Amino acid sequence: MRKWVKINLVPFLFIVVLTSGCQFRKIEKSEDWRVKYEAALQYYEGEDYYRASILFEQILPIVRGLPEGEQVQFYLSYCQYHQNLFLLASHHFKTFYESYGRSEMVQEARYMHAYSLYADSPESNLDQSSSLEALTAMQSFLNRYPDNKFGEEAVNIIEEIQQRLEKKGFDNAFHYFKLKRYTAAIVALDNFKFEYPDSKLTEEADYYKILAQYNIAEKSILSKQSERYSNVREFYEKFIDRYPDSIHISEVEKLYINSLEKIQDLAKK
């Protein structure tokens, strides 16, 4: 019995799929846009976003200006989104709210435009230009619609993108430290703090500034060492004022004490 089911089930499923495929090709070749429109809606409801998008794209130029045009543009945007074609989805959502500014769905389209850009943005170790675009779009959405059903989620997304951008900025600065380009590291870390003054990573930035400055002082010629160890002392004093409970206190304190001893020894010489 099991053997009979196993043999006959595959041809049966193949016939169903083939019939479905033939039906779609027949609809696709139809010259009646209404047939494609109704079929596309059915495919959409059945979450067959690939076939729905093909039909919607075919009839989109025809239904522009018609009552159905608004729905076709909106559903096509979601078809692209559900297929993880986020940049294409963001483009179509933008086209929707620019074309149908009075639609009751325009607010959702503006949000989904920004959200699609966010969905396409990469992790912090990669280029963040798309994250910046997503941040701008989401902030623009909140400015336009301060009271909306997407508000809480939009705020969370903005915070997440900001953290991602901060991490990227810090990693770029820290890269100089890893390369032992300590002077460039200090400049980059200062630039990071200027750009993200409220970041949780400013403590790490100041910590690595002290380490970088100490390394600079150690590798300097004798005539420059006193001044550069003095900079270590200055960085340390600012650090303990800002972060009295830092986990790095004991380490930077050792560098501070060593710097004071170096300055005293250099003064004797």
- pLDDT value at 220 more than 80: yes
Q: Hey, what's the torsion of the CAs at 55, 61, 66, 70, to 10 degrees? A: 60
Judge contact between 34 and 66, C-beta under 8 A.
no
Who contacts 123 (Cβ-Cβ below 8 Å, separation ≥6)?
164
CA distances from 213 to 97, 120, 163, 171, 238 (A): 53, 39, 27, 18, 14
Query: Coil, strand, or helix at residue 100?
Result: coil
Which tokens go with 262?
Answer: 């170096």
Q: 67-78, pLDDT tens digit by residue?
A: 899 999 999 999
- pLDDT value at 3 more than 80: no
Q: Residue ranges of the domains in the chain?
A: 15-120
Judge contact between 138 and 159, C-beta under 8 A.
no
Q: 28-46, pLDDT tens digit by residue?
A: 888 999 999 999 999 999 9
- pLDDT value at 19 more than 80: no
Q: 140-164, pLDDT tens digit by residue?
A: 999 999 988 898 999 999 999 999 8
Interval 201-209 mean pLDDT? 97
* pLDDT tier at 51, thresholds 50, 70, 90: very high
Q: Could you tell me which of 46, 53, 58, 50 has the C-alpha nearest to residue 74?
A: 53
Which alpha helices (H) appear in 33-150, and where do they start and end? 33-45, 49-63, 67-82, 86-99, 106-120, 129-144
* pLDDT tier at 127, thresholds 50, 70, 90: low
By the 10 Å C-beta count (0-12 exposed, 13-18 middle, 19+ buried), 160 is classed as: middle
Q: What is the pLDDT of residue 22?
A: 80
CA distances from 250 to 130, 197, 255 (A): 40, 25, 9
What fold is seen in the domain 15-120? 1.25.40
* pLDDT tier at 232, thresholds 50, 70, 90: very high
Interval 66-91 mean pLDDT? 95
Phi-psi region of 243 (alpha: psi -120 to 50; beta: other; left: phi over 0): beta
CA-based Rg of the chain, rounded to a whole angstrom?
30
Write down the pTM of the prediction. Answer: 0.74
Share of the chain above pLDDT 90, in %: 74
* pLDDT tier at 121, thresholds 50, 70, 90: confident
Q: What is the pLDDT of residue 4?
A: 32
Average model confidence (pLDDT) for the chain?
88
* pLDDT tier at 266, thresholds 50, 70, 90: confident
Q: What is the pLDDT of residue 126?
A: 56
